[in-house]
Structure 1
């Protein structure tokens, strides 16, 4: 058997590897990714204020792969053949597989005119360090923070990190006694940004902005960026630094792969995470458009749940059984502010919102625990 191939080395991929090995110690597992590493994206928000160094969030996976008997292949997927059984790579290789799990993440939609003038924290370590350099070099001025979605798939939005970046920088400015020199403005085309967190969370976030003296510019379609301005249909915001999170779409390589895509450009998946029309092919994490409630998050925790479910289903298919595992829709996040945080928990039957100063150290503890487990 040619084995199982995972495209990507993201949270969903490492979760799938653990689940595969827990159930089957011998099935061949191959990972195709640019580098044998995972970037702990959840902590990028702490780089601009100096709480984290970028390289501390770069987790080598060589030892993790060795412990789980995984073969790593350096490269990027660029297409599929034979209904998913053959992966084409940018190095000219073709990789055969008996089963496929796509975990290659999403990409940001960078089509707005002048978007090169904005910095996007989730672009990675280099972007976070660039924000840090710009911030540390400022003695005052206006910082504009914002995010937008995918007009063809409203759920394809990642607003949480921007709330955290906003509150974290505001806290850091107060701690360094610079807050009075800065005007902070939060903007979004949504009138109630962050709706996937729930109505109570949105109200709490907006109230926190008001309490901290953060201006808002909401409900106006974005038009363009300039080096020192954000232009919307409802007016313009002068800014010395623009921090913006665009909406998400699927990875570039799947667009011409023949896989079924959602209106927003993501790989379609059914309730069991299978890609319709592609036998023994699954998609987890941000790359997929998954069955579930409209608030289902694109976040690491959801990718972990999906990775484990997809692994179980794929092994069942390879054994001739019907896949039955469904990853529960579960939103769990701490909206951090350096001086505390808000825990948001949401399922299809429950929701919870708690605020505490303890949630900042709790988020740091979880980061250390997750990275330590990967390092072994």
Structure 2
């Protein structure tokens, strides 16, 4: 039995580890030889974390967990012939777990922006650009995020890292004694950015903006980005020496060019078992999957790992002819420690409740501790706490 897992991120790595725990021989295919821990990459631009320390080497994970590892670029997913084509060879499979990420909605001039949720090395670019402005001694920095017009539920919006990066930059400039020399603005095309975290959390964002002396610019569609400005649909502009923007998610062309069932944004339709309908041997997990029936939900690394756990559990019980099954719908919730450089806020949302707890000082160390714990637990150096 040949089992392939595609993608070396949260979903793919967790699925691979879980399949090994069930005793299966599994091959992970990734175009990078490391997993990038995006939730803590917010500290790279402000010098609190190195790029190397934000990586988890896949070859080290391979040695610990005993899976097969292939570092190749996937060029085609051939569902009909049960083959994965890469830049080097063709891999056949009996069962497939797709844990790939997502693309970004393109807005004119987006090459003039940088994203903390883009390719890993963009975090270093942001650091370098920020240091240039610090050396200059003043400037305008605009941080924001957008959505996908084709996605009415907005589950492809990823705003949390934008808030975190913004507040961390404010704290960083304050420590440099330059905060009053910079204009920081948070922008978004939607009227109520951050509302997905819950009404309570959204209302509390005003206090964060006030505390970190951040201007806001909401409710206007972005027309284009230029080297020194952001232009909106009404032709008004925000001057910008540095624009940091997380665009809305879109399905990858790699997946759009398959026969897999997809929604209007190119994400794969799955059932609550994380299995593709009418494809008993294909599971899709993480960002590549369409989240349905939960319009308040959002794509997070945490949800990717939940889906990895659910899909491998269901796969295993199918193989051993057990009737036991899990639903990822039952485990859906938003959870994050929104770091601000000198503190944080704990945010949690489910279908029935919303929680936001300010955590001055200790919250920052709590998130730093999670980053350390995540790497150590994945490498089997300490006990893995269920659900974390």
Task: Name the TM-score class by shorter chain.
Answer: over 0.9
Deviation at 1:323, TM superposition (A): 6.5
Deviation at 1:324, TM superposition (A): 2.0
Cα gap change, 1:163 to 1:82, in 2 (>3 Å): closer
* Match status 1:5 vs 2:4: yes
Deviation at 1:204, TM superposition (A): 1.1
The residue aligned with 1:330 is 333
Alignment of 1:1-376 (within 5 A): 1-2=1-2, 4-22=3-21, 24-25=22-23, 27-83=24-80, 85-91=82-88, 93-109=89-105, 111-138=106-133, 139-153=137-151, 154-234=154-234, 235-321=236-322, 324-327=325-328, 328-357=331-360, 358-376=362-380
Q: Per-residue displacement from partner, 1:93-114 (whole Å, max 9, x unpaired)?
A: 22222211100111222x2111
Structure 2: gaps of 5 or more residues = 381-388
- Equivalenced residue count is 371
Cα gap change, 1:84 to 1:246, in 2 (>3 Å): farther
Check whether the contact 1:120–1:127 (CA below 8 A) recurs between aligned residues.
yes
How far apart, CA to CA, are the structure 1 residues paired with 2:289 and 2:206?
A: 30
How far apart, CA to CA, are the structure 1 residues paired with 2:260 and 2:81?
A: 9
Check whether the contact 2:104–2:250 (CA below 8 A) recurs between aligned residues.
yes
How far apart, CA to CA, are the structure 2 residues paired with 1:294 and 1:68?
A: 36
How far apart, CA to CA, are the structure 1 residues paired with 2:6 and 2:306?
A: 17
TM-score (ref. length: structure 2): 0.92
How far apart, CA to CA, are the structure 2 residues paired with 1:90 and 1:132?
A: 32
Please, what is the CA RMSD of the aligned residues? 1.6
- Aligned residue for 2:68, secondary structure, equals strand
How far apart, CA to CA, are the structure 2 residues paired with 1:122 and 1:14?
A: 18
Check whether the contact 1:44–1:124 (CA below 8 A) recurs between aligned residues.
no
Deviation at 1:292, TM superposition (A): 4.0
Check whether the contact 1:228–1:238 (CA below 8 A) recurs between aligned residues.
yes
